[in-house]
Amino acid sequence: MSTNIKKIPADDLDRVVAVQQLSYPQELWEEAAIFHEKQRVFPEGALGWYEDGILQAYLFVHPWRKNETAPLFTENMSLPEKPDCLYIHDLAIAPAARGKGAARELVNTAFALAEQNGLAHFSLVAVQNSESFWSKFGFTPYKSLTYSGVPATHMVK
């Protein structure tokens, strides 16, 4: 099997939505247009992990402020003038592709992207009891919250 990470072409956003729907409860589902908006404001932060040419995992990141969470379902997005972190908005791996290192490869790519953009911090909202996963990458809890009705933890690094 050959794998690689690349910027997501616009016509793969429906596949992103399909992977998302296999990965999260409905309260958290965003439409393709919302992913497109994130891609518009920070194209290099919309990354797909491909196996034999098919998107099996994705990561959406963008510059942000580390003590703030980014809202879901944002139709008209703008980035902060003085970002201090790379915000990991969404990471999901199709169930059949989990446990193969896709998440680790995507997160490491995000770390490299932050360095290229002079961003020394990271921020994210962990859902589905993923805190222990994120702690493997050096994230620590900052605040508990409810995210679109789902229990969550704002984590920073």
Binding site residues, ligand COA, CB under 6 A: 23, 91-93, 98-104, 126-128, 130, 132-133, 136
Least Å distance, CB 109 to ligand COA, is 12
Residue pair 16/39 in contact by the 8 Å Cβ criterion: no
Least Å distance, CB 130 to ligand COA, is 4
Type and span of the H or E element at 57: strand 54-64
Pairing verdict, β 150-156 and 121-126:
antiparallel
Query: In DSSP terms, which residues pair with 7 in a beta bridge?
Result: 47
Contacts of 145 (CB under 8 A, 6+ apart): 69, 125, 152, 153, 154
Least Å distance, CB 69 to ligand COA, is 12
- Which CB sits closer to ligand COA, 2 or 76? 2
- Which CB sits closer to ligand COA, 53 or 99? 99
- Which CB sits closer to ligand COA, 76 or 127? 127
Tell me the H-state helices in the chain.
Answer: 13-23, 32-41, 102-116, 131-135
Q: What is the spatial distance between Cα 12 and Cα 80, in angstroms, rounded to a whole number? A: 27
User: Which residue's CB comes closest to ligand COA?
Assistant: 103
- Which CB sits closer to ligand COA, 106 or 119? 106
Least Å distance, CB 155 to ligand COA, is 9
